[in-house]
Amino acid sequence: MCGIVGLFLKDPALEPELGHLLADMLVVMTSRGPDSAGFAVYGNGDADHLKVTVRGPRLDEVANALAGTATATLRDTHMVLSFATGAEETVRGWLALHRPDLVVTGTGKRIELYKEVGLPRQVADRFALPAMRGTHGIGHTRMATESAVTTDGAHPFSTGRDQCLVHNGSLSNHRSLRRQLEHEGLTFATDNDSEVAAGYISWRLREGDSLTAALEAGLEDLDGFYTFVIGTENGFAVMRDPISCKPAVMAETDRYVAFGSEYRALVGLPGIENARIFEPEPAHAYVWERN
């Protein structure tokens, strides 16, 4: 099963509300995915700074060691390291040498990415999602059907800077696609099929595709069932497989675009009673971008 949600704000006045709106959407989707949850939030960014979200034990040790280089924000099992772009080698070098056990969940100017095993309400609260602000965010509640319930298996997956993807469905050609993408120089942290989909989109974007073109290429190359919601630094996208196997409903107003696996996830949004409610068509790339 699995539940996915996404919220892309058009109205900057809503930005302080992003976290709590997204948290409420995520929690409603508990019945579709009670075993783990995750989310990515695109918050404040700085052209000269990078943010790296890491996950693992003894994060205070990391904060101390990199104190002169990076500002660390600890949230439960995750820590966001923010540093001047020029310090990237230093930070990555230190992590690789001293803490290879840590998992980097996301890197970019604006993305922060958190995921954990547990009920969505618990996961949202552990990371204080309701208090987060930002321009857009996506989330996932997981009901694992073909692999173990682990934090690594939780979504979103990020395979490129400021890029992330959540997936409801299953891909049947992810093994062969993974080998092809590895030839292209991509690396994968898990055996999860959804990470391959994320990698595929990252690869197409790297090759110069627009987000729309990358998704349309995916219609040819990705075999299986999928509803994807995708975030980039300034963009938000939705795509469903050609037979629309997995559910999706969207709401759009002057203030936001929202996605839910079910309408129930959208009922708490401001002005939902006057929103344009629609079901995204199969095999059609829906993309919103903010400049």
Q: How far is the CB of 255 from other proteins (least distance, A)?
A: 19
**CA–CA separation, 167 and 226 (whole Å):** 6
3-state class percentages of the chain: helix first, strand second, coil last, to nearest 5: 30, 35, 35
Structure tokens at 278: 């629609």
Smallest distance from other proteins to CB 233, Å: 32
244 binds other proteins (CB under 8 A): yes
266 counts as binding other proteins under rule CB under 8 A: yes
Nearest CA among 244, 224, 31 for reference residue 142:
31
Interaction between residue 13 and other proteins (CB under 8 A): no
Place of tokens 């300034």: 234
How far apart, in whole angstroms, are the C-alpha atoms of residue 237 and residue 230? 5
Contact with other proteins (CB under 8 A) among 188, 225, 263, 288:
263
**Nearest Cα to 199, choosing from 163, 226, 171, 153?**
163
Nearer to other proteins, 46 or 279 (CB): 279
- Cα torsion angle, 134, 138, 142, 144, sign: negative
Of the pair 118, 247, the CB lying nearest other proteins is at 247
Is 282 a binding residue for other proteins by CB under 8 A? The answer is: yes
In the set 1, 2, 210, 280, the catalytic residue is 2
Selected range binding other proteins among 89-97, 129-137, 222-230, 243-251, rule: CB under 8 A: 243-251
Read off the tokens for 30.
């508990």
**Where along the sequence are the contacts to other proteins (CB under 8 A)?**
243-244, 247, 249, 262-264, 266-267, 277-279, 281-282
Q: Which residues are catalytic?
A: 2
